[in-house]
Amino acid sequence: MFSAVGAPREFSSISLGPSAPAIAYCRTHRAVFLAELKDFIRFPSVSAQPEHADDVKGCAAWLAEHSRRIGMERVTVVPTGGHPIVYAECCHTPGRPTVLIYGHYDVQPAEPLDEWQSPPFEPMVRGNDLYGRGASDDKGQLFAHMKALEAFLQTGGELPVNVKCLFEGEEEIGSPNLTAFLRRDRHALAADVAVLSDMPCWRQIGRPSPNRCGGRLVSNWKSAPLTGTSIPVSMAESSTTRCRSFAKSLPRYTIELGG
Ligand SMILES: [Zn+2]
């Protein structure tokens, strides 16, 4: 667990180790992953609408149970003054960097309903895309990270880094309780790098996705694309703001990937 608050650690490179079994696992479980993502999207976890408070709570419980099932540890549904935060970790590689994965499981209201081609909480595949409220903000991106963790954990491989996951249920209403949580548990949450799953994942037809993994590194108060591909400033703006807010809340850290 990260402990030296205020004393940045530096890593010149990180070896991912053998990932072929994990990649093969993802390929053979594609249909299962899709069915699970649909289950996740079926929760109308609309944080802004009080009538959906129990749905938000149910979605948090589902996410926590799913985290346990894929092999994550210390899984906790943390109550807040509003909607709960889901925490999970897998920290078994002392001396390796610790990565904090952030995502949110709440969604925007679905109204106006008559503009949907299919019901917002009945996810539907059309062509190569999955349609449903939250599919691209942020349940799909969050889930991509979880499935990557599952692929490593379920194929006997160790995670190449220590991982902590923080999934909030209030992003769409301005995260009113997140900062207090970060401050209160800053030592337990401390990490060398934060990966934000709440990123654009749209692609234009005929063009590669600007951010295939839906993640972004926060490094020493600045943000840098995880994949090395560039992200248009306008698309990255909100996430950059969130990166900075994380950087202010968490201890400072320094990390370089890939030398
Ligand atoms: Zn979002």
Cα torsion 243, 215, 198, 211: sign = positive
Is residue 166, in this structure, part of any structural domain at all?
yes
The pLDDT of residue 149: 94
Residue 205 in tokens: 């037809």
Is residue 5, in this structure, part of any structural domain at all?
no
Q: How far is the CA of 124 from the centre of ligand 1 (A)?
A: 20
- Active-site residue numbers? 106, 171
Cα–Cα distance for residue pair 144/125, rounded to 1 Å? 17
Is residue 78, in this structure, part of any structural domain at all?
yes
Is residue 2, in this structure, part of any structural domain at all?
no
Is residue 230, in this structure, part of any structural domain at all?
yes
Q: First vs last Cα of the chain: how many Å apart? A: 23
Q: How far is the CA of 19 from the centre of ligand 1 (A)?
A: 29
The CATH number for 146's domain is: 3.40.630.10
Domain count, the chain: 1
Q: How far is the CA of 234 from the centre of ligand 1 (A)?
A: 15
Q: How far is the CA of 192 from the centre of ligand 1 (A)?
A: 23
The pLDDT of residue 14: 60
pTM (two decimals): 0.78
Residue 131 in tokens: 């349609």
The pLDDT of residue 33: 95
Is residue 115, in this structure, part of any structural domain at all?
no
Cα–Cα distance for residue pair 45/169, rounded to 1 Å? 8
Residue 81, domain extent: 20-109+121-249
Q: What is the pLDDT along the chain (259 residues), one digit of tens a residue?
A: 233 334 455 565 566 666 788 889 999 999 999 999 999 999 999 999 999 999 999 999 999 999 999 999 999 999 999 999 999 999 998 888 888 888 999 999 999 999 999 999 999 999 888 999 999 899 998 999 999 999 999 998 778 889 999 999 999 999 999 888 888 887 788 887 778 778 655 544 444 444 333 333 443 223 333 332 222 223 333 444 554 555 444 443 333 333 2
